[in-house]
Amino acid sequence: MDDATVLDFMRRHVADENSAEPLYRRIKAALGEAIASALLKRGAVIPSERVLCKELDVSRVTVRKALDDLVAEGLLQRRHGAKTVVSSRLEKSLATMTSFSEDMRWRGLQPGCVWISKQISRPSPAEMMALGLSRADGVARLKRIRTADGTPIAIETAAVPARFLPHPEEVGDSLYEALDARGAMPVRAIQRMQSSPISEEEAELLNAPSHISLLVMERRCFLADGQIVEFTETRYRGDVYDFVIELHR
């Protein structure tokens, strides 16, 4: 896609003089939408800071703030030679609580899944500890392969106390939509990450090389009243997925 098309798109999205949003956020949102709509594809070079300043009639500080935020969130990467490109690897910020589908759409990719199982069963020892359940409690366990543009990216196993999700077979593409419909949308989460060798079964499910490692993310999610509503383990392909976090001093 040529710069003129991208710049025209951005001018139309940034020009709202009645917007109370700061300019840098409007520029950030316009670039994010250009990526999400695939106007800017993975690996594409975005217009330079100088060009953006001139065409959008804004300061270098404003443009740089917008780009810095997108770099921190993993949507853009800075390369040698002063080029900034749309990230070609999949990156997930550890500073925000977003779903896999939201992450993929924000990067201009189509999220999808292949369901392995949806069932009610007794909790495992790990699920009992994570969710505060007894052995007699029921848990809705959902296991699936997560995909981006049809490519397998991760294996996800989510466990939800059955009182919040008594009919897991009714869950469609989004677990969070199902929880939200039952008034059980999580508002905060605690995450833990570690690496793990890939097993033969995992390599087959993910269509991945047998020598790579997996990035394993465990997440416990809480309701506003402190109840634990979800415990999810997601095993990401380490050869295509990065985790990023922005630090402040």
Residue 175 has a pLDDT of: 92
Question: Which of the listed residues 73, 88, 103 is the one where a domain comes to its end?
Answer: 88
Q: What CATH number does residue 81 fall under?
A: 1.10.10.10
**Residues 171 and 140 occupy one common structural domain:** yes
**Residues 117 and 172 occupy one common structural domain:** yes
Asked if residue 95 belongs to a domain, the reply is yes
Model confidence pLDDT, tens digit, residues 155-186: 999 999 999 999 999 998 889 999 999 999 99
Residue 245 has a pLDDT of: 60
**Residues 39 and 149 occupy one common structural domain:** no
Question: Which of the listed residues 22, 55, 88 is the one where a domain comes to its end?
Answer: 88
Average pLDDT for 63-79: 84
Asked if residue 103 belongs to a domain, the reply is yes
**Residues 124 and 205 occupy one common structural domain:** yes
Asked if residue 99 belongs to a domain, the reply is yes
pLDDT grade for 17, boundaries at 50, 70 and 90? low
Question: Which of the listed residues 43, 60, 88 is the one where a domain comes to its end?
Answer: 88
Residue whose token pair is 């029921």: 138
CA–CA distance, 238 with 216 (Å, rounded to integer): 9
137 Cβ neighbours under 8 A, 6+ residues apart = 122, 123, 128, 161, 162
Average pLDDT for 58-81: 84
**Residues 95 and 200 occupy one common structural domain:** yes
> Does 49 have pLDDT greater than 60?
yes
Query: Count of domains in the chain?
Result: 2
> Does 246 have pLDDT greater than 70?
no
Residue 33 has a pLDDT of: 83
For the chain, the average pLDDT equals 86
Residue 72 has a pLDDT of: 76
Asked if residue 249 belongs to a domain, the reply is no
**Residues 114 and 219 occupy one common structural domain:** yes
> Does 1 have pLDDT greater than 60?
no
Asked if residue 160 belongs to a domain, the reply is yes
Asked if residue 208 belongs to a domain, the reply is yes
Residue 149 has a pLDDT of: 81
Q: What CATH number does residue 165 fall under?
A: 3.40.1410.10
CA–CA distance, 51 with 57 (Å, rounded to integer): 10
CA–CA distance, 167 with 174 (Å, rounded to integer): 14
Residue 127 has a pLDDT of: 96
**Residues 13 and 135 occupy one common structural domain:** no
Residue 107 has a pLDDT of: 67
Which range of 44-48, 134-138, 207-211 scores highest in mean pLDDT? It is: 134-138
> Does 190 have pLDDT greater than 70?
yes
pLDDT grade for 151, boundaries at 50, 70 and 90? confident
Residue 32 has a pLDDT of: 84
Bridge partners of 34?
none
Asked if residue 29 belongs to a domain, the reply is yes
Could you tell me which of 86, 84, 76, 91 has the C-alpha nearest to residue 39?
86
**Residues 153 and 236 occupy one common structural domain:** yes
Total-model pTM? 0.63
Domain that holds residue 15: 3-88
**Residues 136 and 113 occupy one common structural domain:** yes
Asked if residue 237 belongs to a domain, the reply is yes
**Residues 32 and 146 occupy one common structural domain:** no
**Residues 114 and 77 occupy one common structural domain:** no
Buried b (16+ CB within 10 A) or exposed e, 98-122: eebbebbbbbbbebbbeeeebeeee
**Residues 103 and 13 occupy one common structural domain:** no
